[in-house]
Amino acid sequence: MCRMNFSHDFFFFRTITMMKRSLFTLAGTLVLLALTKAQSDSLFPLFDGYRILHAYPVYHADDLWDYIDGAADNYLNYRFRELQIAEYAKGKDRIYYKVEVYRHADPLYAFGIYSSERSSDYRFVDVGTEGFREEGQLFFLKGSCYVKVMAVEKARGGEEELEALARAVAARIPGPASFPAPLQLFPEQGKIAHSERFIASNFLGYSFFSEVFTATYRQNNLEFQMFLVVRDDPSETEHLLKALYDKTEDPPPATLQQGDHLLHDKYNGKIYLIWNGRLLFGFLNIDDSNLIRPLAAELLEKYKSSGF
């Protein structure tokens, strides 16, 4: 009688199955690595005889703290997706430049993180959508990416070479080289150049006040702020206005009407608000109606003619 060794056959089958799974996993990992390298190669251009080194992993939302630690929270607040890093070296792996490309969910949120790190008194350059620089550093915005190009060692090409590398990287990044459209609504007179920002959340310290555009103004020796939100439907701006009334010392009217509203906020002082359909905008740190009225009128005129 022939007796089959079921335990041996089962063990053999299980071993073969596990080997196949391991091979599939390895193949998948190799494909992922190849795709990551291809994406990285597409971002970082060959440049003036330098070798490109990829000594860093691709960072994502769950491990960005490993690279920038305490600064990670601000990036995650602006819908960070991934960070790719390359170094440019000559000689015996002597690194001269380091390039960091932070990719965010869309150009709006990329502008948000970029604007949170720029200051109006920086030296600005025409790289990508816009860039600013300090000695040995050039940061710029392009599409959904916020890019930092930094000199690790002083190269012969100096600041001109650093800028040339930044331009070469910018040319590789897809997407528009333009600012978010709602920024066009801000009046130009008195606006401090490069002061515009996009606040992703917690504007004025309120969790419900999100996705707000701001700009800083200086007129008659006064510095103040304008802000605006554009929503998909007027009911959303109405809800936002009601929420602001609930947080201030002013009782809301029985029926909210579009137009002017003055709120007294315990933490932020007087807030002048104008509600017009899908648009809600206002003023902070100013108590002069002679300055407010012409700016409000100009913004409303731009809004009506813009097609928002």
* pLDDT recorded at residue 10: 44
Global pTM value: 0.85
d(CA 99, CA 170): 11
Per-residue model confidence as pLDDT tens digits over 231-254: 999 999 999 999 999 999 888 888
Average pLDDT (19-35) is 39
Q: How far is 190 from 290, CA to CA, in rounded Å? A: 14
What's the burial of 43, exposed, middle or buried (CB within 10 Å: 0-12/13-18/19+)?
middle
Banded pLDDT at 5 (limits 50, 70, 90): low
Work out the average pLDDT over 181-206: 97
Question: Which residue bears the tokens 């430049």?
Answer: 97
Q: Are 265 and 236 a contacting pair, CB within 8 Å?
A: no
Average pLDDT, the chain: 88
The pLDDT value recorded for residue 176 is 87
- pLDDT tens-digit series, residues 38-95: 445 689 999 988 999 999 999 999 999 999 998 999 999 999 999 999 999 998 879 9
- Percent of the chain residues past pLDDT 70, beyond the cut: 86
Sign of CA pseudo-dihedral 45, 168, 135, 105 = negative
Nearest-angstrom CA–CA distance, 202 and 84: 29
Share of the chain above pLDDT 90, in %: 77
The yes-or-no verdict on residue 28 having pLDDT over 60 is: no
Distance CA 197, CA 215 (A): 6
- Residue with token string 């390039």: 99
- Contacts (Cβ under 8 Å, ≥6 apart) of 279: 228, 229, 230, 237, 303, 308
Kindly write down the DSSP assignment for every residue of the chain, as one continuous string: -----HHHHHHHHHHHHHHHHHHHHHHHHHHHHHHHHHHHHHHS--BTTBEEE--SPPEETTTTHHHHGGGHHHHHHTTEEEEEEEEEEETTTEEEEEEEEEEESSHHHHHHHHHHH--TTSEEE-SSSEEEEETTEEEEEETTEEEEEEESS--TTHHHHHHHHHHHHHHHS-S--S--GGGGGS--TTBPTT--EEE-S-GGG-TT--SEEEEEEEETTEEEEEEEEE-SSHHHHHHHHHHHHHHSSSPPPSS--SEEEEEEETTTEEEEEEEETTEEEEEES---HHHHHHHHHHHHHHHHHHT-
Q: How far apart are CA 114 and CA 122, in angstroms?
A: 13
* 107 or 250, higher pLDDT: 107
pLDDT at 49: 87
- 27 pLDDT exceeds 70? no
Is the pLDDT score of 35 beyond 70? Answer: no
For residue 306, the model assigns a pLDDT of: 87
Residue keyed to tokens 């960005």: 64
Token pair for residue 54? 């990829």
Confidence at 14, pLDDT banded by 50, 70, 90: low
Structural domains present in the chain: 41-172 (3.40.1000), 181-306 (3.40.1000.20)
The string of pLDDT tens digits covering residues 112-165 is 999 999 999 999 999 999 999 998 999 999 999 999 999 998 777 789 999 999
Distance (Å, whole) CA 116 – CA 195: 10
User: What confidence score (pLDDT) does residue 156 get?
Assistant: 73
**Pair 176, 107: CB distance under 8 Å:** yes
- The pLDDT, as a whole number, for residue 41 is 62
